[in-house]
Amino acid sequence: MNHCEDIAVAKIAETAGLLAGNGYRLVQLSCVKGGEGRLDLIYSFDRNYELSSYKLSVAPGETVASVTASYPGAYLYENEIGELFGITFDGLSVDFKGTLYDSLVRTPFNLPPAAPQTVGGAQGASNPSGADQ
């Protein structure tokens, strides 16, 4: 059975510890933009081909406890999400302190919405190829 459960940000480290103790492996950790400026973290765990996922809705500036105490390899996921989205993970076992990627843009996956572009005087019109018609 596969399921996705919403949990409080404060519960992820405890939940990860319980899952690790019960033989679950960390499959992935991903981040997407949620509503109202929030970011959604989705942790997926597996045991015996049964996937269990947990979604946290993170407010701007909110810190998330690292799961590296239970899943040491999560340091790469957490460093990447920290750099690309700007989430701070507390207790990260290996912290690259923003040097995992060499990016010209801070938190490139969590930029404010861009203003609509105008092309040829028509607002919102664009030519994806970039070539003149």
The CATH superfamily of 3-111 is: NADH:ubiquinone oxidoreductase Nqo5 subunit (3.30.460.80)
The share of the chain scoring above pLDDT 90, in percent, equals: 67
Q: 64 — phi, psi (to 5°)?
A: -115, 135
Residue 65 near residue 90, CB atoms below 8 Å: yes
Higher-pLDDT residue of 90 and 116 is 90
**36-88 per-position pLDDT tens digit:** 999 999 999 999 999 999 999 999 999 999 999 999 999 999 999 999 999 99
Nearest C-alpha neighbor of 56 from the set 80, 36, 40: 40
How many CA within 13 A on the CB side of residue 69? 13
Joined together, the tokens standing for residue 109 give 């996956």
Question: Does residue 92 carry a pLDDT above 70?
Answer: yes
Q: What is the mean pLDDT of the chain?
A: 88
